[in-house]
Amino acid sequence: MSFDTTEHNRRRYCFDGVESVWLFGYGSLIYKVDFPFLEQRPASIEGWARRFWQGSHDHRGTLESPGRVVTLIESPATCCKGMAYRVSPDVFSHLDVREKNGYLRFVTPMIFTDGTREDGLVYIATEDNAAFLGPAEDAEIANQISNAQGPSGRNSDYLLKLATALRTLGDDDPHVFALESYLR
């Protein structure tokens, strides 16, 4: 798959006649909300783990020196907490560009904190995308993050803001918090 998934995502779903769609954010979409929304609710999805396994060439790194940002990896016993936003479908024309470095939209069941459920769309960078980096030792990942920066700023800010946002959500994500400790 090419680096730029914008066109691929645009062809993926037809929003004709749809007034609003739930979006599930688990990374920068939790703390950098640069899009309008109709409603916002903490939510979680089951069977997925957040990992700093995706390369970033366009936001938190460059082609020569990619940063690392989060994607979701299938993990049966894991629950990933995040933020759900109910948005107008036209918001995806902005989000598809923002998430273009390897992320595709998938439908996921979401569980709100009161136990109710809705389906939402989630951006996942799968292993077959050209920017995927995969696992590494925590120290190596933290080192790469501490050295990278791109048009959206320092890669370390992405990690630190995410860790703070997860704490606010009451999440305990050992992967993110271990990387945060290395960085600090």
Shortest distance, position 133 Cβ to ligand SIN, whole Å: 14
Taking CB under 6 A as the binding criterion, the range among 3-11, 12-20, 27-35, 142-150 that sits at the site for ligand SIN is 27-35
Shortest distance, position 85 Cβ to ligand SIN, whole Å: 10
Residue 17 backbone class (left: φ over 0; alpha: ψ -120 to 50; beta: rest) = left
Which residues are registered as beta bridge partners of 150?
Answer: 153
Shortest distance, position 27 Cβ to ligand SIN, whole Å: 3
Taking CB under 6 A as the binding criterion, the range among 11-19, 25-33, 39-47, 143-151 that sits at the site for ligand SIN is 25-33
Grouping H, G, I as helix, E, B as strand and the rest as coil, residue 139 is helix
Q: What is the CA radius of gyration of the chain?
A: 16
Taking CB under 6 A as the binding criterion, the range among 10-18, 19-27, 111-119, 137-145 that sits at the site for ligand SIN is 19-27
Which residue of the chain is nearest ligand SIN when measured via CB?
Answer: 27
Taking CB under 6 A as the rule, does residue 176 contact ligand SIN? Answer: no
Q: Which pair of tokens denotes residue 142?
A: 């933290």
Closer to ligand SIN at the Cβ: 142 or 158?
A: 158
How many residues of this chain interact with ligand SIN, rule: CB under 6 A? 9
Taking alpha carbons only, the member of 56, 55, 30, 61 closest to residue 161 is 30
CA–CA separation, 108 and 123 (whole Å): 10
CB 151 within 8 A of CB 100: no
Closer to ligand SIN at the Cβ: 35 or 182?
A: 35
Shortest distance, position 26 Cβ to ligand SIN, whole Å: 5
127 is catalytic: no
Taking CB under 6 A as the rule, does residue 26 contact ligand SIN? Answer: yes
In the block, residue with structure tokens 């902005």: 94
Q: Which pair of tokens denotes residue 8?
A: 């691929």
CA–CA separation, 4 and 2 (whole Å): 5
User: Which residue type occupies 70?
Assistant: V
Among positions 98-127, residues that touch ligand SIN (CB under 6 A) are 99, 123
CB 89 within 8 A of CB 21: yes
* Catalytic residue list: 99
Which residues of the shown chain bind ligand SIN in the complex (CB under 6 A)?
25-29, 69-70, 99, 123
